[in-house]
Amino acid sequence: MKQEPAKASRKEERDRPRKGIPGLIDSTVTSTIEDFKAIIDAKLELFRIEMTEKVALVSALVLLLVVLMIGVAYLITTIALLFGELFGHVWLGYLLVSMVFILTFAFFTKIKPNALKNFIHKILLSAND
C-alpha cells in the first residue's frame, strides 16, 4: 500500500508545469513546433490559392478559345449564306449570332480581360472550401 502514494506523487510531478529553465525550454520548444505547423499550414493554403488561380486562367483561355471557334464557324456560315442568297434576308440571323460570339470574345479579351478568369477563380475557391 505504500507504493501507491509514491506512484501518485510521481504522476503529479509529471503533470505539473515545469518551473525554471527546464520549463522555459519546454515552452519554447512547444511554441516553436506550433509556429512551424502554422507556417506550413499557411504555405499550403497559399499554394492551393495559387494553383486555383492558374487553373482558372487556363479554364478562361480554353473557354475563350471555344467562344472564338464558335464565332468563326458562324461567321463562315454567314458569309457562305450571304454569297448564296445574294442580298437575301436568311443570312441576317446567322450574321447576328456570329457577331454575338465575336463581340463576347472581344469583350473578355480587350475590355475586361480578367473578368472571366476572376469569375472562374471564385468558383474554384468556393468549390474547394
pLDDT in tens, 68-121: 999 888 787 877 777 667 656 666 767 776 787 888 888 888 888 888 888 888
In sequence order, which residues have a C-beta less than 8 Å from that of residue 121 and are 6 or more positions away?
Answer: 52, 53, 56, 57
Q: What percent of the chain has pLDDT above 90? A: 20
Label residue 109 exposed, middle or buried (CB < 10 Å: 0-12, 13-18, 19+). Answer: middle
In sequence order, which residues have a C-beta less than 8 Å from that of residue 10 and are 6 or more positions away?
Answer: none
Predicted pLDDT at 62:
92
Going by pLDDT thresholds of 50, 70 and 90, the confidence category of residue 26 is confident
Please state the domain count of the chain.
Answer: 1
Using the 8-state DSSP alphabet, how is residue 49 labeled? H
Predicted pLDDT at 16:
61
Say whether pTM exceeds 0.75.
Answer: no
Predicted pLDDT at 17:
62
Residue 79's domain comprises: 3-128
Q: Report the pLDDT averaged over residues 18-38.
A: 85
